[in-house]
Structure 1
Amino acid sequence: MRGFLASSIGVTCAAALALPLTLPAATATARPVPTAERADDASAAVPGRTQSLPLVPLAAERALGSAAVQGLTRRDVRHFSLVGVVWDDPDAELHGRVQVRTRDSMTGEWSGWQDVETHNHEHAADPDTAERVTGRVRGATAPLWVGDSDGVEVRVRAVAESRVEETGRGARTATAGASLPSGLRLELVDPGQADDAAPVSGAVPASGAVPASVVVPADSPRTGSLGPDAALASAANAPLAPLGATELPALSRAATERELALLPEGGTRAQPKIGPRPRIVTRRGWGADESLREKKFVYTKSVKAAFVHHTASGNKYQCSQVPSVIRGIYRYHVKSMGWRDIGYNFLVDKCGNIYEGRAGGVAKAVLGAHTLGFNTKSTGIAVLGTFNTSKPSASAVTAIAKLTAWKLGIYGVDPRAKTYLTSGGGNLYQKGKNVRLNVISGHRDGFATQCPGGLLYGKLGSARTNAARLQGR
């Protein structure tokens, strides 16, 4: 699969031995205005490519009397593994259906038509924030993982929108004409391969068990010959390994105090109940190209809640492919959608592996772009997959519990509790409203959306209970 599995193997390497709080990054690359077909510089340290193709009215569909249908007929393209559709106005919604079919680059066979999740605007930076008002942000569907492909066909069909309007004679239902947002483009993302310069000492096997060589263990820092970043990474991570509430002798308490001392104001320092620190695959571990994102980090004052999401990118992936999947989502968020970095703070795969998301430090309160209106004082955890009709794995739900027990524990938060967050504006709560939420909430609790899918949402009660147990409550 054209180096596809090799890319998955290459990213799980000894270069992921540390979880730096502030990894140095190359100067951020300005996002160019899209052309008929755009390819990023393949000579970058971590190569990847985005092809951006404008959609056009489909003649065959027009003949059937539907003018509001755009797409592309079958065409050969450069290799890609992830697809999505973007448009000009980030506040415009796509009321309709997006379907794609792709050609497998190994077998040459075309897939059946697959639906792409169109309601993705709720995964975004809060209104009026610097990230939201850059002028680079676009509306977008969720990304769909399709595997290594070299052919594509897409159709986007608008549907009439019904809404309730208040009139002097009472409420009535109005139907708006079928239309599509302007500037529709198909984004074809090749996640590329990890940096070949990094020494390889392990790989994520198909079983999904992540070897110790790609993560920071929970009880000691790791060192290695990793180039100029090694000293910074090792020093940054030395105090980041509390053993948790179930092992609270002096060593754990001292480690916890050192970790909290690195946090901004807002982290608790009075006998915290912190779950054991889970194994987390670093950004370097999954092969993040740090030149794509903006260089600076943005923080919020504390973490009071965790929002659980699904990526709606489909369930057709192997755990050995996850580094490539995340690189694809990262590139889609930054290059196609115009965000400063990947939107989620953490990602979890079906095998229960946890991955560092947005840069800035896994223990810190990094401001994400995951829950429109409630990114402040929260952390976003996305489970890779779609869970409207498919059940999440037990391993993924357990990983949510482990991660929240540790992350929320740092800030003195009980996973079973409720908290108040101030809305930054959305379709459920107006800006400025103080909203009472579960400390571990689903995306749909803060925004009218199907995310994180009904079957994952139904597992959050179990995650809350287990996270509290891990904290020793």
Structure 2
Amino acid sequence: MRLPRAALVGLACVPGLIAVLLLVVCAVRVGRTGDRPARPPVAARPAVVHPAAKPPIVPRSRWLDAESTHDQPPARYDDRVVAVFVHHTDSPNGYDCADAPRIIRYLYAGQTGARQWDDIGYNFLVDRCGTIYEGRAGGVDRPVTGAHAQGFNHRTAGVAAIGTFTAGTPVPRAMTDAIAALTAWKLGLSDVDPRATVRLVSSNNLARFAAGTSAVLPTLAGHNDGFMTSCPGAALTARLPAIRELAARLQGR
């Protein structure tokens, strides 16, 4: 069947009309978006986290008995832990590790008695056999505000090595390994490198830095980094670089 001439002309124009229509649509869209540059696709950023395994931690209930416990206010918390301070307890070294709970209970009694602190100041304590004990109340997994580094208690954790580690005193390998494991885990919760530095603001004029001073300190520091003291002793201070390196390896860095 032969189509009329007018129909053939109309069909021949259809492709052209479609092309014109597409050009109009594109022009409209460009006009609507021309004042906004096209945004490049946002690449997903994987979380840069270096967790470390949580080491075994003996709870407070193993060293603090009902007779020694006193009334104390609720624990206080920071948003996270960005530094760890290492201390020594300035107590005898020749103890049996089975006596560590008794020693911690004695330290607790002194700090909450004569010093009138609300709790033991250290967040953790480590004996010469490498056993880690929970110190200050509030939960080992949480950023509990301690009372261990005058001026720099906020956003830090205090770890006390049970003993006295002045120059020439042997520092047990089990103790330093435990401090490294604890540091790796605790700083890993905030993805903090144990070999790095952090800026902290002093809150006390009795610290090495006046209140309000912004100080750059190691993320794994000795007590003497923030306070005028010989703590944690020259022997343990000398081991801190190796402890930092081991803690970083435990985080997979």
User: Shorter-normalised TM-score: what interval?
Assistant: 0.7 to 0.9
Instruction: Give every structure 1 segment of 4 or more consecutive aligned residues whose post-TM-superposition deviation is greater than 3 Å.
Output: 287-291
Cα distance in structure 1, aligned partners of 2:207 and 2:157: 20
Residue from 179, 184, 191 that aligns with 1:400: 179
The CA distance in 2 between the partners of 1:411 and 1:293, in whole Å, is 31
Instruction: Report if aligned partners of 2:86, 2:160 keep a CA contact under 8 Å in 1.
Output: yes
Q: Secondary structure at the match of 1:355?
A: strand
The corresponding residue for 1:297 is 75
Task: Tell me the equivalent position of 2:9.
Answer: none
Give the match for residue 391 of structure 1.
Answer: 170
Q: Measure how far apart 1:295 and its partner are.
A: 3.9
Q: What residue is the counterpart of 2:237 in the other structure?
A: 457
Q: Is the 8 Å Cα contact of residues 84 and 219 (structure 2) preserved in structure 1?
A: yes
Q: Taking CA–CA contacts closer than 8 Å with sequence separation of 6 or more, which of the two structures ends up with the larger relative contact order? A: 2
Q: Are 1:319 and 1:350, in contact at CA under 8 Å, matched by a contact in 2?
A: yes
User: For each residue in 1:13-46, what CA deviation from the matched residue of structure 2 results, as whole angstroms up to 9, or x when unmatched?
Assistant: xxxxxxxxxxxxxxxxxxxxxxxxxxxxxxxxxx
Q: Cα distance, 1:298 vs. partner?
A: 0.8
Q: Secondary structure of 1:312's match?
A: coil
Q: Distance in 2 between matches of 1:386 and 1:293?
A: 30
Instruction: Spell out the pairing of 1:123-272 with structure 2 (5 A cutoff).
Output: 270-272=47-49
Q: Hey, what's the Cα distance between the residues in 2 that align with 1:419 and 1:321?
A: 36
- Give the TM-score of the pair, scaled to structure 1: 0.42
Q: Following the alignment from structure 2 to structure 1, what is the Cα–Cα distance between the partners of residues 166 and 94?
A: 15
The aligned residue for residue 6 of structure 2 is: none
Partner of 1:320: 98
Closer, same or farther: CA 293–380 of 1 in aligned 2, 3 Å = farther
Which residue in 1 is equivalent to 2:209?
Answer: 429
Q: 1:293 to 1:460 in 2, by over 3 A?
A: farther
Contact 2:150-2:207 within 8 A present in 1 as well: no
| Richer in strand (by share) | 1
Letter in 2 for 1:423: S
Are residues 288 and 406 of structure 1, via their aligned partners in 2, closer, same or farther at CA, if it must alter by over 3 Å?
Answer: farther
- 1:471 aligned onto 2:237: no
Offset at residue 271 of structure 1 (A): 4.6
CA–CA separation in structure 2 for the residues paired with 1:285 and 1:314: 21
Aligned to 1:274: 51
Report which of the two has the higher share of helix: 2
Unaligned residue ranges in structure 2 (runs of 5+): 1-45
Are the counterparts in 2 of residues 367 and 376 from structure 1 also a CA contact under 8 Å? yes
* TM-score normalized with structure 2 length: 0.78
In structure 2, give the amino acid aligned to 1:355: Y
What is the letter of the counterpart of residue 200 of structure 2? L
Other-structure match for 1:411? 190
Query: Which residue does the alignment assign to 1:346?
Result: 124
For 1:287 and 1:422, locate their aligned partners in 2 and report how far apart those are by CA, in whole Å: 33
* Aligned-partner Cα distance in 1 for 2:149–2:207: 12
Alpha-carbon contact 2:194-2:245 (below 8 Å) kept? yes
Other-structure match for 2:110: 332
SS of equivalent to 1:459: helix
SS in 2 for 1:342: coil
> C-alpha distance in 2, partners of 1:277/1:353?
13
Quote the Cα distance in structure 2 between the aligned partners of 1:412 and 1:396: 23
CA distance in structure 2 between the aligned counterparts of 1:472 and 1:402, rounded to whole angstroms? 12
Residue 113 of structure 2 aligns to a residue whose secondary structure is: helix
Q: 1:288 to 1:460 in 2, by over 3 A?
A: farther
In structure 1, C-alpha distance between the alignment counterparts of 2:190 and 2:140, rounded to whole Å: 13
Give the aligned partner of residue 133 of structure 2: 355
Task: Tell me, yes or no, if structure 1 residue 443 matches structure 2 residue 246.
Answer: no
- Indicate if the aligned counterparts of 1:293 and 1:334 stay in contact, CA closer than 8 A: no
Instruction: Give the match for residue 166 of structure 1.
Output: none
- Once residues 294 and 377 of structure 1 are traced to their aligned partners in structure 2, the CA distance between those partners, rounded to angstroms, is 21
Question: How far has the Cα of 1:287 moved from its partner?
Answer: 3.2
Q: Does 1:381 align with 2:159?
A: yes
Q: Deviations over 1:63-87 (max 9, x none)?
A: xxxxxxxxxxxxxxxxxxxxxxxxx
**Distance in structure 2 (CA, Å) of the matches to 1:345 and 1:462:** 22
Alpha-carbon RMSD: 1.5
1:439 shift after superposition: 0.3
Post-superposition CA distance 1:242-283 (Å, at most 9, x none):
xxxxxxxxxxxxxxxxxxxxxxxxxxx935211111000000
Which one has the largest radius of gyration?
2
Percent identity reads: 45
Distance of 2:140 and 2:119 partners within structure 1: 14
Aligned-residue offset at 1:302: 1.5
Q: Secondary structure at the match of 1:458?
A: helix
Give the counterpart letter for 1:351 in structure 2. Answer: C
Mapped to 2, the partners of 1:283 and 1:404 lie a distance apart of 19
Q: Distance in 2 between matches of 1:433 and 1:320?
A: 42
Q: Which amino acid aligns with 2:115?
A: M
